[in-house]
């Protein structure tokens, strides 16, 4: 076991469509036994309700509802997951002294993307992202908009130049396993896990193996 495995991955769900992607990443991390910190932006609650028919209580109170939704009822998952409110600017991920494996913003709205690209750290998601960049840790952004305008593209380039990785939820067709919505979600989640240094996820078959 390398030392990184003891440090949590911070997952942020923002108010772009595709909240299920964030939940599926949390599920995959917990099933791999990885400690996970979750931040859900205020604007996400409406999207989560619309798309997943899930009403969540705020911040730290939402752990139970999320684990039930993900069908992860074992006590070990409760110990691995930590939920933070986006308003909690004093929470551990807001400080560089709190060690993490990295951070994933999934899905990432263009509003949060723009703030991150400009260094505006006015909530826990954007502050934790800023910290992740300054500490030269892995920052993975799953931008979700279509089409992207010039401002979106420039913001992505700026973040990429600062060390962030863009993994948009693009469609993939070259393996049989991808040919369902579930397969497409697994493809994106698997890609993210690969880049977090967790390639043993088994979410898709690897080409040539």
Ligand X SMILES: Cc1cc2nc3c(=O)[nH]c(=O)nc-3n(C[C@H](O)[C@H](O)[C@H](O)COP(=O)(O)O)c2cc1C
Residues binding ligand X (CB under 6 A): 14-17, 41, 43-44, 46-47, 50, 109-112, 144-145
**Token reading at 45:** 């609650």
Tell me how far apart the alpha carbons of residues 203 and 183 are, in angstroms, rounded to a whole number: 8
Between 119 and 202, CB nearer to ligand X: 119
Spell out the residues 6+ positions from residue 3 whose beta carbon is closer than 8 angstroms to its own: none
CB 51 within 8 A of CB 20: yes
CA dihedral 65, 66, 71, 77 (to 10 degrees): -110
Between 39 and 80, CB nearer to ligand X: 39
Shortest separation between residue 156's beta carbon and ligand X, angstroms? 12
Shortest separation between residue 72's beta carbon and ligand X, angstroms? 24
Between 1 and 171, CB nearer to ligand X: 171
Tell me the residue number closest to ligand X, measured at CB: 15
CB atoms < 10 A from the CB of 135, how many? 15
Shortest separation between residue 179's beta carbon and ligand X, angstroms? 23
Between 34 and 107, CB nearer to ligand X: 107
């Amino acid at each position: 076991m390398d030392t990184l495995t003891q440090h949590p991955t911070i997952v942020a769900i923002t108010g772009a469509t595709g909240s299920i992607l964030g939940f599926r990443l949390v599920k995959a991390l917990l099933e791999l036994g990885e400690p996970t910190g979750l931040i859900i932006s205020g604007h996400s609650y409406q999207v989560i309700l619309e798309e997943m028919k899930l009403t969540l209580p705020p911040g730290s109170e939402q752990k139970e509802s999320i684990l039930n939704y993900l069908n992860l009822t074992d006590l070990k998952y409760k110990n691995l997951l930590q939920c933070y409110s986006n308003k909690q600017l004093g929470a551990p991920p807001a400080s560089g002294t709190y060690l993490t494996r990295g951070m994933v913003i999934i899905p990432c709205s263009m509003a949060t993307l723009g703030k991150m690209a400009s260094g505006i750290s006015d909530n826990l998601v954007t502050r934790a992202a800023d910290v992740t960049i300054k500490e030269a840790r892995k920052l993975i952004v799953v931008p979700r908009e279509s089409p992207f305008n010039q401002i979106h593209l420039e913001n992505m380039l700026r973040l990429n130049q600062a060390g962030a990785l863009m993994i948009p939820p693009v469609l993939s067709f070259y393996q049989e396993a991808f040919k369902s919505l579930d397969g497409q979600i697994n493809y994106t989640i698997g890609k993210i896990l690969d880049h977090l240094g967790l390639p043993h996820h088994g979410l898709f078959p690897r080409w040539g193996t």
